[in-house]
A and B are shown apart, each in its own frame.
Chain A
Amino acid sequence: MIRSRNLLIGGTLCLIVVTAALLSFVWTPYDISQMDIPNKLQKPSAAHWFGTDHFGRDIFSMIMIGARTSLAVAIVAVGIGMGLGVPLGLWAAANKGGWVDEIIMRGNDLIFAFPSLVIAILITAIMGASALNAIIAIGIFNIPVFARLTRSGALSLWEREFILAARVAGKSKPRISAEHILPNVANLLIVQGTIQFSLGILAEAGLSYVGLGAQPPTPSWGRMLADAQTMVSFAPHLALVPGLAIVTAVLGLNLLGDGLRDLLDPKIRVART
């Protein structure tokens, strides 16, 4: 009962966000590259469902395109984390206790020890603010998450009979990792991936909010909030709408993640911090 509800609500919210993002490629209610300064800061109306911003642009259209930015950054960042973290985790597990394992795990601990936001700020300070650098900054901190998860999932598998059988059959460690271990930790990865995805959206919003994410004229939810900051006192909708968009996306992904976990394997534990 609860399971299906998580999946249903989460799935619906995600679908809304993804649809908005995809639709924005072909259609938005208004062209946001056109500024209409005489019509700035309008309250929500039939013509502009979410009102207009300080340049007179339609906020509904900006939210749609902003969804695109958020999703793109989060997808690539999680991709980086998985792409590097999973092989590292598999490698470490295959050589448990060896120096490779030690280096990988200590390296992970070290990355974990760095305050992620501060490092993200530093990275963008060094390389300049851009969506790409935001992706790199977020992606780096996804690597240890997936490496740890994969390693711990894989470690228990290495002691199972079917793996031993494969070893006896003369299969190499990398081959076993790819053919037998990976499929068995996939569920784990999908669930954690959903959670990391939602964290990625939050992180992107945070970085854009401090001005280090996607650059104008690309709209992003975090920067919309930053732009709105001085205007909340007379135009609260400027801050309310992007904030609720973030909450919708993150909530949707979290519920989807929980729903998937219950569906795929109730025993899975996900790290959220």
Chain B
Amino acid sequence: MRFLTGRLAMASLVALAAGLGAAQAAQDDITVAMQLEPPHLDPTSAAAQAIDSVVYINIFEGLTRFMDDGSIVPALAKSWDISDDGLTYTFNLNQGVTFHDGTTFDAEDVKFSLDRARAEDSTNAQKALFAAIADVTVVDPMTVRLTLSEPNGNMLFNLAWGDAVIVAPESIDDIKTNPVGTGPYKFANWVQGDKIELMANDSYWGSAPAIKSATFKFISDPTAAFGAVMAEDVDVFTGYPAPENVPQFEADPRFQVLNVATEGETILSTNNKMPPLDNVKVRKAIAHAIDRQAIIDGAMFGMGTPIGTHFAPHHPDYVDLTGNSGYDPELSKKLLAEAGFPDGFTTTLKLPPPSYARRGGEIIAAQLRAVGIKTETSNLEWAQWLEQVFRGKDYGLTIVSHTEPFDIGIYARPDYYFQYDNPAFQELYAELNKTTDAAKRSEMLAELQTMISLDYVNGYLFQLATPTIAKAGVQGLWKNAPTAAVDLPAMSWAN
């Protein structure tokens, strides 16, 4: 406890000094608020996006990394060579990189991190990312070679995830509470339930960031979030929880509002094995009963882009298939009658906590009721949702935003919770994974998207957009969110 307060006092002294100096120099501290607090700070053993928001790019780096436009660029790996058969990746690492505890970063750390992630007893939430890796070999301290069991067009993309960052064996035991990485910021302090503080790492191998100290504040309550932004207690709020407040911020010259497109395809997930939802006509009827725009307006206050398939609209390979499921209640009723349900039927609608699901669920329930489909709505916590819906597959309909980037592959898993089992899709997807030619991949992706759209696997609603509210002077904020991240080194204050 004394240790903690000591650090806290130091941090506040630094903050005070920074505040005093602000009159002369440009501001170099920032307070970033977000809704959820990370449970711990190890991005390689949990799915919580809040962990990535704090540590990705800032504390931990991977071999490659995401830019805000979704492109993959070098990070700890300076460059790489891919063999012609696509089975061997040789990474050349950056020189002179050290971890925050002073230990040197080299190929052994890469091998340790990747082997740990794909080990038998690994607790990596995205273990599938590493499934194609057959072997990791240290060639020399600055070179590491990955051997794949089969070609994988996504390997560089997979290695950019927060779940694939490089950690050191020396500091792995305490990683959850004291993360030690190679990034431009060091972990300084955590007041649980309130905030996490980071300080610039003076011995960072890359260029020094403009922001020298950063505080992450966790404000889950939307009202408190509104108050905190309005009172200018925070400089940036990423993933602002209440889209209904956005017009007020837009009208206020003190703030800038960025509608950040996320990777979240928000869908009305449908249990494809539960009668009568196993009938494609019934699923098509549901799709035509849904008025996407009303949901976007009513649940998201206008934020979000309609989608017609499970793919992000800002992705170059996206195909607009919203026409396959236009709002047409009459057609919907006709389809229901054809399927043998002229009077509709009753199914369950189980909703997880986010407001897109709860509000969207109320609207969808009303829209389905209009064509004769009755829903028994129940609101679930995440733990219950995971248990009942995701694992138990005990549901008819649910609403959830699938925020993992490029996750159309879940449709190739017949045991996944919407239980879509189409061998044609599975074969084509396996084919895609082995293909590295860009034009061919693009073509295959279009076919995959069309396939699930015409099978009406799920009701495709909209691409989730989350507002970032920031003070007008903050620069370098991400306009898209290909992954959960708060890219502190990119940020600065305008003079």
Distance from A15 Cβ to chain B, minimum over Cβ atoms (Å): 32
Contact B378 A128 (CB under 8 A): yes
Q: Does A172 contact B (CB under 8 A)?
A: no
A35-B378 contact in complex given A54-B244, A230-B223, A230-B245, C-beta closer than 8 Å: no
A88 CA / B242 CA spacing, docked (Å):
49
Q: Does B101 contact A (CB under 8 A)?
A: no
Residues of chain A with a CB closer than 8 A to B363's CB: 35, 37, 55
Q: Does A33 contact B (CB under 8 A)?
A: yes
A211 CA / B365 CA spacing, docked (Å):
18
Q: Which label, helix, strand, loop or mixed, suits the secondary structure of the A interface?
A: loop
Which candidate, A22-30, A91-99, A231-239, is the interface stretch facing chain B? A231-239
- Selected from B248, B297, B378, B380, the residue in CB contact (under 8 A) with A233 is B248
Q: Which residue of A lies closest to B365 (CB)?
A: A217
Chain B 360-394 interface residues, beta-carbon cutoff 8 Å to A: 361-363, 365-366, 369, 377-381, 384
Q: Which residue of B lies closest to A41 (CB)?
A: B244
Contact B379 A229 (CB under 8 A): no
Q: Does A266 contact B (CB under 8 A)?
A: no
The size class of the interface chain B forms with chain A is 20 to 34
Q: Does B294 contact A (CB under 8 A)?
A: yes
A33 CA / B223 CA spacing, docked (Å):
27
A55-B242 contact in complex given A215-B377, A216-B377, C-beta closer than 8 Å: no
Contact A232 B377 (CB under 8 A): no
Contact B226 A230 (CB under 8 A): yes
Q: Which residue of A lies closest to B383 (CB)?
A: A125
Q: Does A45 contact B (CB under 8 A)?
A: no
Contact A33 B248 (CB under 8 A): no
Residues of chain A with a CB closer than 8 A to B378's CB: 128-130, 215
A229 CA / B227 CA spacing, docked (Å):
12
A216 CA / B361 CA spacing, docked (Å):
9
Chain B 195-232 interface residues, beta-carbon cutoff 8 Å to A: 222-223, 226
Residues of chain A with a CB closer than 8 A to B359's CB: 54-55
Distance from B232 Cβ to chain A, minimum over Cβ atoms (Å): 16
A233-B362 contact in complex given A35-B294, A37-B298, A130-B378, C-beta closer than 8 Å: no
Contact B226 A233 (CB under 8 A): yes
Contact B377 A37 (CB under 8 A): no
- Selected from A35, A211, A217, A233, the residue in CB contact (under 8 A) with B377 is A217
Distance from A181 Cβ to chain B, minimum over Cβ atoms (Å): 44
Contact A216 B248 (CB under 8 A): no
Could you write out 21 A-B pairs with CB less than 8 Å apart?
A: A33-B369, A34-B366, A35-B366, A37-B294, A54-B244, A54-B298, A55-B298, A55-B359, A125-B384, A130-B378, A215-B378, A216-B358, A216-B365, A217-B362, A217-B365, A229-B222, A230-B241, A230-B244, A232-B223, A234-B244, A234-B248
Q: A35-B366, A55-B362, A230-B245 are in contact. List 4 more A-B contacts (CB 8 A).
A: A125-B384, A130-B378, A217-B365, A231-B244
